Each structure stands twice: as structure tokens, then as C-alpha cells.
Amino acid sequence: MLAAAEFRTVARVERIDPVTKLAEVSADIALEPGREYTVLNESGEVIGAAKEVKRSGNGNSIFTFIGKRRALSAGRRITLVAANPGFSALGDRPRQQAKPQVRFTLKDAAPMVYVPEGPFILGGQQVNTLHYVPQSSEGKAANRADVAGFFIDQYEVTVQQYRHYLEETRQRVPEELAEKNGLLPVTHVTYRQAESYCAWAGKRLPTELEWEKAARGSQLETVGDEAYTEIRNYPVADASTAELCVTAEKSSAPVEVDKLKDQSPYGVIGMCGNAAEWTSSWLLPYRGNTARDERFGKRYKVIRGGSYEHPLELAKSYVRLAGGIPTLSRDRRAGFRCARSEP
């Protein structure tokens, strides 16, 4: 049995009974009968609490749910976190004291970096931008997010890896992809293609909060009872961006991933350039951002990271771009890397 302070799993809402309002949920691993959970949405926000009341005929859990109205819907992905007093006050996340052992096997054999549990500084301070989040609200820090520990690919998915996936799944390898250098990052794939690759590899796309934390680091240093932040806009020191980040000012094409020189505080490569990257998060306003934007809603996914096609200004760790124009199955403006929750 897993200790309560370590338990979390990604789950999917299969259906919601219109009469009883009970939710049928399937999870990656068996859930403990009767346990209470904190429920997080795709952005890592707490949306309510759930308790298993019974099992369905196919072994799925049937939950009661108390939380935001219409927060659950059939087909939605959620994260279930065991509710106990060890959760942090910032985001109802249990604290992990040590790096977990890697106990999973991945089809693409890509090296992954572990990003530990804990808070980080989120977003930017430019009002009326997609990434704006107030620094403080009612006298309290409002721009800190608490993300559960996770693994993320050290490098962007390469052409070679993507070709192998297409061959393994008996899909046609496009001619332009067959002739490309295999060590280049795969670019111009749709969100659906990126999502399918990660699922095949035994992983998933990162949420935008996971992506940003992997790029920025924790940026928090506690001295006594006060917390201080290091102002850092890029995955690398701001003074080194022109030299290290592969953006439009430096290159008209992507670079082989093993030749990249930028490295985030957690050791993730290529987050400030080369290929922009899909995340699994919908483009929604951050809490406290009251600006109106027609792109907000569950229509577009967030794209993160610098690119050889974009100026350096868009390579800042907190910049959000809208992906899915005109649709998530046709928009080819990004590459991607995969993530994995703690086992």
C-alpha cells in the first residue's frame, strides 16, 4: 500500500449519472475503497473533493463529488490526490521528501528529468497579457503555484523517435520526415499527434504549470519566515539568452538536440528555443487576471517555449501562445516533449 502522502494518480471521468450525479472514474492504478481525494484539473488547480462509494461492474470507481459547479464532465482528465494533513497550504499537494525510484519502462527510451514537488513563481507582471498573474492579492502572494513532482523529457522529441513511433503503429511516414536528420526536434505536428505519441510511449503531455516549473526552477528561497524570489525570465540566465537560445535572431532552422547549450535549473534542454512545445492545458486566464480575451476557454491549448520561428522575446518561460487554430487536429505550429507523473 502506498503511503497517503505519496499517493496521486491521473484519472478520467467516464460518465456522470444525470440522476444521482455520481461520477464513474477510471484510473491508471487501482484506487483504495472508501478513500477521500482532492481533485485537481488539468492546470493543477483544486476543483473539489471526491470519495469512492462503490465500484462499477467493470471495476471503475464511483465517486461522490463536492466542488465547483460543472467542474466535472465526461471525458475530462483529472488528478486524484489523497487527502491528508501532510498537504501543502499552497496547492493541497502532499510533500515528497526524496526523489522516487523510476519503476516504469518507456517505449521511446528517452532520458527524463525529475522535477520535485513544491512551489514556484508563475506567470509575468504585464497587465492585459495572456501570462499576467497578480503578484499579490489581499496581502498574500498570488503568483505562486504548487506542482506535484513529475518527470519530463530532457530533450524535445526528435524526428528519429517520431519516425519509430509511426513505424511501430503502422502509420505512413511522410516523405519529408523520412529524409530529415533524425536528431532534429520533430516540428509542425498537431496537438492530437503529440498527444498520441506520448500515450504510445507510456507518458503524457505536460501541463503548462509543469512545463513552466521545469523551465524556471523553484525561484524561492526562504529566510526565516519570509520568502524571496530570484527574478529570472528565461530557462537560462537572462544575460546568456542571445548566446544559448535558438530563436529567430540566431537561426532559421532547428538544431540537433544534442548540440543545444541551454539548460534549465532542473537540467531540461531546449526550453528557450529550437521548437515551441505543446502542453495539455487549455488556454484559460490565471486566477486574478480579469482581462477579456476571445481566446480564453476550452478551445485552444497552451503552447510554451522558444522557437527558431519566433523572436527571443517569446522565449520567456512564462509566455503563453494559443495552439489549435483552426483546430487541434490541424494546427501544426509546434513540437513537443512528454511528461510522466510519479509512479
Residues of the chain with CATH 3.90.1580.10: 112-341
Cell of 169: 503503429
- pLDDT, one tens digit per residue, over 220-245 is 554 444 444 456 799 999 999 999 99
Q: Are 26 and 10 in contact (CB under 8 A)?
A: no
Determine contact, residues 321/184, Cβ cutoff 8 Å. Answer: no
Domain with CATH 2.40.30.20 in the chain: 4-82
Span 132-147, pLDDT tens digits: 888 887 777 788 888 8
Q: Which class is domain 112-341? A: alpha beta
- Read off the pLDDT of residues 96-137 as tens digits, 9 standing for 90 and up: 445 555 556 788 989 999 999 888 888 988 888 999 888 887
Q: Give residues with Cβ within 8 angstroms of 219, minimum separation 6.
A: 120, 121, 229, 230, 232
Residue 74 in this model has a pLDDT that exceeds 90: no
In this structure, CATH architecture of domain 4-82: Beta Barrel (2.40)
